[in-house]
Amino acid sequence: MKRNATRTTLVTLGLASLAACIVNLSFSMDKPSVALKSDPGTTNISQQAILVDLGDYKEITDHKDNIKSLDLDYVDITITAIGPANTAHSVSGKVTLRKNLTDPATSDIDVGALNAVAIVLNQTTRIQGTPALDAFLLQQLQSAGKFYVIVSGSIDNGVADVTLDLNLHASMGYDTGIF
């Protein structure tokens, strides 16, 4: 009798743990290349806005109704091309997230800074995520499902003619829905 009670207890505990099973899934949100160009005589780079539609990612659409957390783990920014007009040696700037383009820049959520990054082919800068970015992503998932990555900055001197690749590495926790 004691053996059956122990077995029943173990099976019950095992099923209870499955009922609350949250799975963590990491995935990449690679965005189209961004051209950073400056006009001769100025060191400012025109602000670039890159649309992120969370519905474009299979990982999200497969589990949208069960997602409990959505985190931005880090962003990799890689120089993928240097144009023939480029005479700049380094780029500085910042990366932010914005709900929509009509929001004022004062509502941007900072991702991080580029601090005098050398303009060298395949140079990669990694910016780590933060709890504020995680909260922003989850909020956007639960509302519009879209947001913008804003890249702005300046160069040390000369003319900028550089192409960047932005790759947002994210993870989400979703309920498996078992029981």
Per the listing, tokens 């820049």 go with 105
Overall number of domains in the chain = 1
Q: What residue numbers bound the domain in which 107 lies?
A: 23-175
**Residuewise pLDDT in 10s, the chain (179 residues):** 555 555 555 444 444 444 458 788 888 998 878 999 988 888 999 889 999 999 999 999 988 888 899 999 999 999 999 999 999 999 999 999 999 998 877 889 999 999 999 999 999 999 999 999 999 999 999 998 999 999 999 999 889 999 999 999 999 998 876 65
Query: Residue 40 maps to which CATH number?
Result: 2.60.120
Spatial separation of the C-alpha atoms in residues 116 and 96, rounded to whole Å: 17
Tell me, yes or no, whether 13 lies in a domain.
no
What residues form DSSP beta bridges with 148?
A: 51, 98
Query: Looking at this protein, which amino acid is placed at residue 11?
Result: V
**29 and 167 Cβ atoms separated by less than 8 Å:** yes
Q: Rounded to the nearest 5°, which phi and psi values hold at 163?
A: -115, 130
- C-alpha torsion 33→91→112→149, nearest 10: -30
Spatial separation of the C-alpha atoms in residues 142 and 146, rounded to whole Å: 10
Tell me, yes or no, whether 8 lies in a domain.
no
